[in-house]
Chain A
């Protein structure tokens, strides 16, 4: 078990190194010159070529790419992600302020998703032909097909505009959280329901389910104890990936509901051509994703003894 975990941590280290390289290169080769943006911030819209060149030299943009990367990496390792080119705020500080909002939204919507999807998936799997099974199956098909932005707008129209029950945007108490979390949670639940169903159907065809039946156990024990624990393995992997994406900020939902998370920060920074902020966001999102997957791998070991004793 320890060997397995340390191996995973060791690998994640390389993944994160890869993330820094890709992040840096993407930003470096992206269209638009950072020196121009800095120069505009410094000298205003009326620029001369000399001013731009001067910024290029003083900021080190004329050095070879790998030197720039090493310099940047050196700063990153000392937790210095630079300053916003637009507002001069510290990038890491700004991200730290935004991150809790994204985390709150991510975990709430994941909980909503799993509490709907796992029971629904089980019911669909064991009551294939019954009306309730068909009902959930149709529901999940509709859920998969509805785009997030549309569902978000629909919910705003119904609960905020028509019924005046919930605020349509912003960050604050539980009431602000409900609409974005439900939007994200239900659309994820739709996919997870289908995954739970197929995973459950697969497990129910296994020979050890016949063994359990031969022991004279009732259906409840067979499904909840013998089948579900096996069926959960792919679901955990998938939910972990979803969580990774969510912690990277769900750009669309955060934008619709003006949720001050990292996804919205990223989009706003892209519009403002705020290179260092975009770079910081992308880096943090990549690292979060890698760490979430590490957590999933470790959780997996607790669920599956075959991995635990590898």
Chain B
């Protein structure tokens, strides 16, 4: 069953006379108990997508489209109703926990305040609840009174997870939860996230540029390029038979596949190329790619790819 449905989401930032089109016409459905990965390079708009779902973007942002959660469009909800959804129904783990934790409040305070605020719990009850959550993410509850700077990077990430999970939300958005962590810590964070999401029957949107992490915990993967989803498929299909030329080079740029680099630079989000946004860097580019913007086409193996190569039975490259 569908838990969250994004339809035609556009997120534009105006700066001067430039318009940065960070998200352009995003369609995405998140099912119950599903972990969906959003992968792509830095600057492709994947973090913006995560924040847009929580309506956390600043006021000068232009958002259109619909984000339907439980039959209601989050983009048209009142600020009061949104506050109930945020944290309680949808949780987010922001990237860079060092900046996302408040330096002058104890971690216990930062976690327990959600119980005190949303559930009007007493200080004592909230502390007990917080201790339980810290234990769940592997942090000694006795350290509740300590401050963010007293924890290591991996532990800060655990604290962020504890905060995002405090209310066992139905949907957790994890923005680059393994960024900047050493391999061992990364592994333990990935395991922690995977176990929590499974044991609590949650859905998760995992935003990452780490394909190994996506492979390990995602059911489906959406590949983003220049503010668009260009491929949507199950994680096994995408790894075995990547459809979009961009996905193909992205996969072959992995160290274990030979570190092939992608020629050219990521396009600017304020003046993206005409037609298919990947055509200047694409080795299969045809005339139509320069002029017409491709829709999502269904491939033989039932994956969705935004590429004219899949338009009407032509052979796959």
Contacts and interface: CB of A to CB of B under 8 A. Distances in A.
B103 A215 contact: no
A216 interface: yes
Question: Interface of chain A, helix or strand or loop or mixed?
Answer: helix
B240 interface: no
B105 A309 contact: no
A309 B86 CA distance: 33
A215 B101 contact: no
B268 interface: no
Given A229-B105, A309-B147, A214 B96 contact: no
A235 to B, nearest CB: 13
Interface string A284-310: 000000000000000000011110010
B56 interface: yes
B149 interface: yes
A62 B106 CA distance: 63
Contacts of A225: 105, 113
A226 B102 contact: yes
A216 B87 contact: yes
A46 interface: no
A182 B94 CA distance: 46
Contacts of A135: none
A218 B101 contact: no
Interface residues of A, number: 22
Contact of B147 (A207, A211, A218, A305): A305
B301 interface: no
Contacts of B147: 305-306, 309
B118 interface: yes
Contact of A206 (B99, B105, B118, B163): B99
B87 A214 contact: yes
Nearest to B102: A208
Given A208-B103, A306-B149, A216 B83 contact: yes
A130 interface: no
Contact of A216 (B94, B102, B105, B114): B114
A303 B92 contact: no
A156 to B, nearest CB: 43
Contact of B163 (A213, A215, A304): A215
Interface of B: 51, 54, 56, 82-88, 91-92, 94, 96, 99-106, 113-114, 117-118, 147, 149-150, 160, 163-164
Given A210-B51, A214-B91, A215-B163, 9 more contacts: A207-B96, A214-B54, A215-B87, A215-B117, A216-B82, A216-B83, A229-B102, A229-B104, A304-B104
6 contacts: A207-B99, A213-B56, A214-B86, A216-B84, A217-B87, A225-B105
